[in-house]
A = this chain, B = another copy of it.
């Protein structure tokens, strides 16, 4: 017979899934879309999805609303929903926003002297996933890395917006899935960011960040037939050392 432990002190308990059907539907649909299980342009029909999930249309509808907001689903009123299309131009738009947001994000985090231990931990996980060849896990940890900096910036709005962009970022990365296999490099490329944050030099940290982002997205845009010259570098560091 197992003995229940009843501590006197408060104990932080896992959030134990909100269990809202709408949340679950959102998570699952999001996963299906960014993993490429639904081809771009595929029609998403509320009734079908509801039947597949074994739930009613209401929570599905709410999930769709959020996916539209995330840019993963296109909506035509009175007509229906389709999986969003994604091309080189969209990637450029996305990364121009990302460049400017993350430059600000790391500047704030650096200014506040954020703790870098969680970042080191994420790099370790990235490296481990890379050794295992699990690209999806590498991508997720990489986004977690950047999200952690956003959180540490102390700017809740930036953190929220980055979360909103994560879906689009995953789709952009997925566009490239048969592309590069240099997973190891991804992990190592994040180390300079930690050093930059610890240096306390905001401008340098921002330059490191923009250089890092540019180096990962330029090849992608080239492979998609886009023009990397349309990428905008915040700050005056057009070419990071």
Interface residues of A (CB under 8 A from B): 18, 20, 58, 61-62, 65-66, 69, 71, 77, 90, 93-94, 96-97, 99-101, 103-104, 107-108, 155-158, 160-161, 168, 203, 232, 234-236
Name the contact of A104 in the complex, choosing from B20, B58, B62, B234 (C-beta under 8 A).
B234
Which residues of the partner chain B approach A236 to less than 8 Å between Cβ atoms? 203, 235-236
Q: How far is it, in angstroms, between the C-alpha of A71 and the C-alpha of B58 when the chains are bound?
A: 23
Q: How far is it, in angstroms, between the C-alpha of A151 and the C-alpha of B161 when the chains are bound?
A: 19
The 8 closest A-B pairs by CB, nearest first: A100-B100, A100-B104, A93-B155, A93-B157, A236-B236, A97-B157, A69-B69, A234-B234
Contact A232 B96 (CB under 8 A): no
A-B contact pairs, 19 of them (CB 8 A): A61-B62, A62-B65, A71-B160, A93-B158, A96-B104, A96-B108, A96-B157, A97-B101, A97-B155, A97-B158, A100-B100, A100-B103, A100-B104, A103-B234, A161-B161, A234-B234, A234-B235, A235-B236, A236-B236
Which residues of the partner chain B approach A108 to less than 8 Å between Cβ atoms? 96, 232
Contact A232 B104 (CB under 8 A): yes
Q: How far is it, in angstroms, between the C-alpha of A100 and the C-alpha of B69 when the chains are bound?
A: 21
Which residues of the partner chain B approach A160 to less than 8 Å between Cβ atoms? 71
Which residues of the partner chain B approach A65 to less than 8 Å between Cβ atoms? 62, 65-66
Closest-CB distance, A194 to chain B (whole angstroms): 21
Contact B234 A77 (CB under 8 A): no
A234 and chain B: residue at smallest CB distance:
B234
Closest-CB distance, A127 to chain B (whole angstroms): 31
Question: Among the interface residues A65, A71, A90, A96, which one has the most CB atoms of the partner chain B within 10 A?
Answer: A96
